[in-house]
Amino acid sequence: MPFGYASPEQIMRDKADYARKGIARGRSVVVLQYEDGILFVAPNPSRALHKVSEIYDRIGFAAVGRYNEFEELRLGGIRYADINGYSYDRSDVTARGLANLYASNLGRIFTESIKSLEVEVVVAEVGDTAESDAIYRLTFDGSVFDEHGFAAMGGQAEAVGTRLKEHYREAMPLAEALDAALKALTEPGGERPPVAQLEVAVLDRNREHRKFQRLTGARLERLLASSAPPLAAPAEETPDEAPTAPEGDLDDGSGA
């Protein structure tokens, strides 16, 4: 064997381990269906670098990992969508076509480059009905997963997905879906991220033309307030009973 030889299987395993470790260092992102569309929730203290974005009229994009790497994927997806929508018809741009494009690029980079991309991506499309919604999750090696109902990626994705499965149900109102997402993203006994460190967006099927909308400011605060559990009513104070003497008579303090 030549000096420094490594089998293709070992190289692929090393690339995969490297990418997984990089992705796990980030914070998780949750994507789930709700009554009127698809909800994206991501803890993100940065106001300039977005994990959640719009790709096209009905299509949203969410990612975890290295920002510069998934930003290139996002921009490439926007160019693909614009060219196809202009050349043919806007309805010809679909999440499935975009997911296939990303899968091809991610798989090629994973097999041909020395370093794989440290990214995981969700491409979601809202339809006219809940049954026509689509959520595709793509991993660093180009694998595509057709998710149903919800998807979690990045950070402690397995634990987040388990908690999300416990709280998720079909056709939840937006406030309830947001509450389920935050419960999944919050470790047991931990505190929820403050509003300023949350990135929340929806694909709302009831909106005209462009379905993507970010939820910020007062509207997000109202949703969080409506989804918060009600505070327990304080226990009623009972008046202190007058002390009694050993025989049961009232103690008037005279010492008699």
| pLDDT tens-digit map of 81-129 | 999 999 999 999 999 999 999 999 999 999 999 889 999 999 999 999 9
pLDDT for position 244:
47
pLDDT for position 2:
54
In the predicted structure, residue 8 carries a pLDDT above the cut 90: no
State the residue for tokens 């793509």. Answer: 138
Q: Classify residue 244 by its DSSP letter.
A: B
Higher-confidence residue of 242 and 14: namely: 14
In the predicted structure, residue 12 carries a pLDDT above the cut 50: yes
Span 198-249, pLDDT tens digits: 999 999 999 998 999 999 988 999 998 886 655 444 555 555 554 444 444 4
Mean pLDDT of 163-172: 94
pLDDT for position 34:
96
HEC profile of the chain: CCCCCCCHHHHHHHHHHHHHHHHHCCCCEEEEEECCEEEEEEECCCCCCCCEEEEECCEEEEEEECHHHHHHHHHHHHHHHHHHHHHCCHHHCCHHHHHHHHHHHHHHHHHHCCCCCCEEEEEEECCCCHHHCEEEEECCCCCEEEECCEEEECCCHHHHHHHHHHHCCCCCCHHHHHHHHHHHHCCCCCCCCCHHHEEEEEEECCCCCCCEEEECHHHHHHHHHHHCCCCCCCCCCCCCCCCECCCCCECCCCCC
Share of the chain above pLDDT 90, in %: 71
Structural domains in the chain, sorted by start: 8-227 (3.60.20.10)
pTM for the full model?
A: 0.85
Higher-confidence residue of 63 and 249: namely: 63
pLDDT for position 4:
66
pLDDT for position 85:
94
